[in-house]
Amino acid sequence: MARLFTLSDLLKTTEQTEIDFSAHLRGLVEWYPRAIDSLFKITHFIGELADSESDRGAFEFFASSHYQQIPYTFWAIYDLTKRGFYLEATILFRSLLEVFVQLRYFSLNPEELIGSIKQKTRIPFQKMFNALSPDFYDKHYRYYSTFFAHGKGGHLAFRFESQEGEKRVLRGNKYDEDSVAFVVNAVLPLLLGFLNFYPLFFPSHQLASENALSEEIDKVESWLERHVAGHKTTNPSSREWYASYEPLCRPGGALGV
């Protein structure tokens, strides 16, 4: 009887995947943890929220509760990716994307938030996306939602590989440059978006008095911008992706210019 693949085998492959990840992506290994540190630290300086009885106050509380969670989810995505769990990382990315789009939409329409939370009014994600970037929902969000989160075939890209013209099951995980890029190039602009919009979501924030932290955030944002610019240069076809992604993630301008 052939030896059966087990959890022990999987764990061995994840160890090697992480080693290969670190060897190939030293810039990401250095800067991504610094970005997550920044996300954790800014939650201490949100400042006083608007009147809780007001629509704006309800939004700021809603936003602050998400900012308390997002560093954990961003780190989970990174932790999964470096160990080769690309599908699982992509599913979590979709969740964070939905959080961010809600924050963007309700920051502009705070009077609609309470009805949505209490499920008295339904605001489709398509409406939210279209209010911010009309092309993104149909061109990209449907893809993440249908194929990956809803199990309509996205797993095939990560769990099967072609050998001599045939699709075969990939047992265990491995470092795969294309799979890593698929996750990372989606996640980093979103991370930048959460940093960019922090001052707009929380106008009473107290970061101005925190010079060292503000300088670190500037450095992190600069690295994220350089990553996007580099991706545009090395992969010109990505410009179409960024053309619809950027209006979500950057106030009043393009990413990686």
Burial class (CB in 10 A: 0-12, 13-18, 19+), 98: middle
> Is 201 within 8 Å of 105 (Cβ atoms)?
no
Q: Which tens digits make up the pLDDT trace of 87-145? A: 999 999 999 999 999 999 999 999 999 999 888 889 999 999 999 998 888 888 887 87
Using DSSP, state whether 135 is helix, strand or coil.
coil
Question: Can you give the residue ranges of every domain in the chain?
Answer: 16-249
Q: Which tens digits make up the pLDDT trace of 189-224? A: 999 999 999 999 999 999 989 999 999 999 999 999
Give every CB contact of residue 85 below 8 A, 6+ residues apart in sequence.
14, 173
The Cβ of residue 121 has, within 10 Å, a number of other Cβ atoms equal to 11
Question: DSSP code of 43?
Answer: G
Using DSSP, state whether 227 is helix, strand or coil.
helix
Q: How far is CA 37 from CA 33, 43, 249, in A?
A: 6, 10, 20
pTM here is 0.92
